[in-house]
Amino acid sequence: MQLMKVAGAQGVLQRPERQDVIQHVERILATPQFARSERTSQFLRFIMDKWLDGREAELKEYLIGTEVFSRGETFDSRTDPVVRTQAHRLRAALQAYYEEEGAAEVLRIEVPKGSYVPQVRAVSVEPAPIPSSEAPVEAKRSWKRYWLIAAVVMALAAGYFGIPRGEPPFTNRIESVLRIPAEAQLLPDSGIGSLSPNGVHYVFPAAKATGEICLWLRTLSRPGIQALPGTDGASLPFWSPDSREVAFFAQQKLKRILLSDSTVQVIGLAPQPRGGSWNQQGQILFAAQSTGPLHMVSSSGGAAVQATALDSSRAENLHRWPWFLPGGKNFLLYVRSLKPGLSGIYFGTLSGGDRPATTRLLIPMEEISAAEYAESPDRRSGYLVYQQAGAIFATLFDPGKGTLTGKPELVATGTPQTGAATCSFSTAGTRYMLITPSLYRSSQPTWFDRDGRRHGTLGEARDYGSLRIAPDGMSVAMEGMDTDYGTRDISIVDIASGASRLVTTDPSNDGDPVFTPDGKQMFFQSGRSGLPLLYRQNLLASESAERVDAAPDHSQFPQDISSKGLLLYQVDRTETQFDLWTRTLTGAGVAVTNGKGNERWGRFSPDGTMIAYTSDESGQDEVYVRELGANPRRWRISMSGGGHPRWVRSGKELFFIAGEPAVAAVSIHAPDSTGIADSARILFRQPTLVLRRGKPVWDISADGKRFLMAVPARPPEDANLRFLVNWSTRQ
């Protein structure tokens, strides 16, 4: 191949040889960055195959969305930015490759902005001699960077973090960091926290060094944080319109705290909260449950009333993440529908009286996301801000009419989709935006014995959501996060060799793997149909996973499969909260628990005659054992808090996680007048056990002698949150 020699520059040549390009692409795909990101690799391979075949004119957004990202025939690029987001990531990955491993390559692949057609350039770089005068130039550049950074720091310290309304708008976007000291550890299931409407404060839930969770306050114009008293167990905080009070959820209740004197007041009940918002009229709109409609309550307390109604004609099953718009009558919310194309960000209007609010669809999207309205300083315009496909977007929005007046603008990428329980961003108008690339921290599956001694690790350090040891004890199914995309996939790791293979690769979240007794199939939950539903994967074939039709109108989470081939799964229903159901692998489902509390995290006894599970009916999580069949008996196993039980293969011992957290064990015997179990005993304490979505990431060997537990891969360190100043330059 003839190459143009250009000293210190790149030259565009005639179309390079096909085989040279193929080999170049294969070298790129073999690098660790591309090897661990299947979607980026698929994107690159797809566009390069079209280019090599001379069919690059076909590379349109619709084709890429349907062929590469499996969006289906209803894919609409105007409302689903997945292709634009992934193209941004591909460009960044290629740039990183040519700056590092591929620095000596004589080919360059580029994907110009605004196009998906790759450009391939062949270059030869002859290093030019560096003049003696060039070293001082580099030094000057270093000093220039130093003074630029110093100027930004001084400007921020001078008050950028606390400018009140009415002052002149910024003219440049600045990206900085907001440091959270190690004394407060951010938690994935409690939320990123919230910026105050006036842009002066940031409040967030985090764990103390002792493990207790509370709210912390940071004044943005100065360093240092303070724990707010009376906020134990707090999550998902949101502000009053005047920035003087914070509402939050704790102990299954909605509460408020006045910052001036730390007075805490209980407002109402909220067993499984999913966000709230406070308007100028002193009303709070909130999601009290993980499913169902929104409710309204006075900020001073009192009886909550239903504010929205699930529209049966749209097959809705949940309303979440309310956000009041200026005036306090209109609001944003996320609605999930069982009908394709009807889930997404909605615009709502309170009707008054006993009539439910009216709602209509604004932005169709299957991924659950909070939405916020960011008002410009002059209060004449603003943006609807939301998260989709691992990125944050903003669209010009009229809050009075509830209409979008512009196209989505990409604000930031690298934000894992955590909207099912939390939100990855917070805004204070169009001036400030706080972003977390991920609240999750790297964890390492580690083996422990019954005395709590470590005996090695398994697999690589990742963010794990669940672990499941295979029936033969030879491998482990692991639910881990793809750090490039913020979604979860399932892999199987061989215990002896450490070799890993990916089982699921869908762009949606996949998790909670459960093996069949023979180890040939796996059941798991996936959000690829909109809400978490059951899927089955044949582990001995390359065929795609098939959906299992079990109560398809509710979220479903597989728990266990008995030796008799009965599937135990968890169902989230508006009427009865979380319940446990069973079904044969091919039959219909039957409710096993239907109590007043949340019954979750069940496991079959080895003989398949009982289940152990967790229930909060007493006011806190406890472990129970229940018989199956007609007239079942039930026994409470833990007495001071506990959950997430695991049986040994003999059925004579049951383990669970006590509240410290610690691993507790009880001996199981035939039922008699004293019950079915002896008193629980603590085997060992594990305060660093990782919790994901409220559950510990752990499993036990069949003989009960080894425990596989996810623990932090490194000690907690200072957290850096991305802080955008003047994130929207269109003021």
Q: Is the pTM of the predicted complex or chain greater than 0.75?
A: no
Q: Are the C-beta atoms of 537 and 488 separated by less than 8 Å?
A: no
Residues of the chain with pLDDT under 70: 1-15, 36, 78-79, 123-171, 188-189, 414, 416-422, 437-441, 483-486, 507, 530, 550-553, 574-576, 714-719, 729-731
What is the predicted pLDDT for the residue at 318? 87
> Quick count: other Cβ atoms within 10 Å of Cβ 67?
13
Alpha carbon distance, N-terminus to C-terminus of the chain: 52
Q: Give the residue among 357, 343, 344, 362 at the shortest CA–CA distance from 401.
A: 362
CA pair distance 426, 439, nearest whole angstrom: 13
What is the predicted pLDDT for the residue at 484? 58
Pairing mode, if any, of strands 119-122 and 263-269? unpaired
What is the predicted pLDDT for the residue at 125? 45
CA pair distance 73, 568, nearest whole angstrom: 34
Q: Give the residue among 347, 395, 345, 352 at the shortest CA–CA distance from 368.
A: 345
> Quick count: other Cβ atoms within 10 Å of Cβ 43?
23
What is the predicted pLDDT for the residue at 507? 66
Pairing mode, if any, of strands 432-435 and 719-725? antiparallel
* Helix (H) or strand (E) segment spanning residue 121: strand 119-122
What is the predicted pLDDT for the residue at 2? 41
* Helices of type H across 100-248: 134-157
CA pair distance 560, 513, nearest whole angstrom: 9
Q: Which two structure tokens, joined as six digits, stand for 602?
A: 């069940």
pLDDT in tens, 569-626: 998 876 667 899 998 877 777 888 877 778 999 999 999 999 999 998 888 889 999 9
pLDDT in tens, 12-22: 445 688 888 99
Q: Can the peptide bond before residue 416 be classed as cis, meaning omega within 30 degrees of 0?
A: no
CA pair distance 110, 95, nearest whole angstrom: 8
CA pair distance 466, 479, nearest whole angstrom: 5
Domains identified in the chain and CATH numbers: 5-125 (no CATH), 146-439+717-725 (2.120.10.30), 443-712 (2.120.10.30)
- Tell me the DSSP string of 319-337: EEEEEEPTTSSEEEEEEEE
Contacts of 84 (CB under 8 A, 6+ apart): 61, 77, 410
What is the predicted pLDDT for the residue at 483? 62
What is the predicted pLDDT for the residue at 716? 55
Q: Which residues pair with 346 in a beta bridge?
A: 333, 361
Question: From residue 643, how far is each of 6, 32, 625 by CA, in Å?
Answer: 67, 39, 11
Q: Which two structure tokens, joined as six digits, stand for 538?
A: 């044949």
Q: Are the C-beta atoms of 83 and 64 separated by less than 8 Å?
A: yes
Contacts of 216 (CB under 8 A, 6+ apart): 184, 203, 204, 205, 206, 225, 226, 227, 228
What is the predicted pLDDT for the residue at 11? 44
Query: Residue 141 phi/psi, 5° resolution?
Result: -65, -40
**Could you give the 3-state DSSP secondary structure of residue 381?**
coil
pLDDT in tens, 64-111: 988 888 777 778 776 677 788 788 778 878 987 887 888 888 899 999
